[in-house]
Structures are given as C-alpha cells and as structure tokens.
Amino acid sequence: MGEPMPVRVMVTDVWDEVELQVAPSSSLGEVKRLALERTRVSRNPDDYLLKFRGAELRDESRTLQEAGVVPNAPMIVLPRRRQPLR
C-alpha cells in the first residue's frame, strides 16, 4: 500500500482546498471522491473531472503513482459541464 502522501485538491464548486493523506496506490477516482466528500459536495462524483498539471486525468482507475502524482501535488476537481451563472 505504501506510506501516505499529502496531496492538495481544490474543489471549484465550493472554492475550497482540502489536504488529503493518501497512499500512492490510491486510485484517482478515490481521491476525487474523498475531496468531494470533505467539502460536503453531495452530487455524483461522475459529474466531476479531476485535473493534474492542467490535464484531465481521464482513467480514474489508475493510481496516483501511475499518473505521476508526487507528494504535495495540487489537483483540481471541477464539474464536467459548466454551470450557468444565476
């Protein structure tokens, strides 16, 4: 499983950044789910995408290690579809 490593995830729905301690063997989908859960976003995680270094991480079954995510890496979770302004 490996030593936990810190990652920072910005969730744009609430403009909040969370710090997570996750194993390098954690899936990208799990990191996204945890970030949404910590920021109390209750929508389906499938409605969101995860980005690292400006690129969408499409295969969320891959691990952090496989995706090249390093300790303290900043990631971002944002809606797949843009929300209209109200």
Among the residues of 5-77, which ranges form H helices?
Answer: 28-38, 64-67
DSSP 27: B
Task: Report, as an integer, the average pLDDT of 9-15.
Answer: 95
Among the residues of 6-86, which ranges form H helices?
Answer: 28-38, 64-67
Q: Does residue 1 have a pLDDT over 60?
A: no
Q: Does residue 12 have a pLDDT over 60?
A: yes
Task: Report, as an integer, the average pLDDT of 3-13.
Answer: 95
pTM (predicted TM-score): 0.88
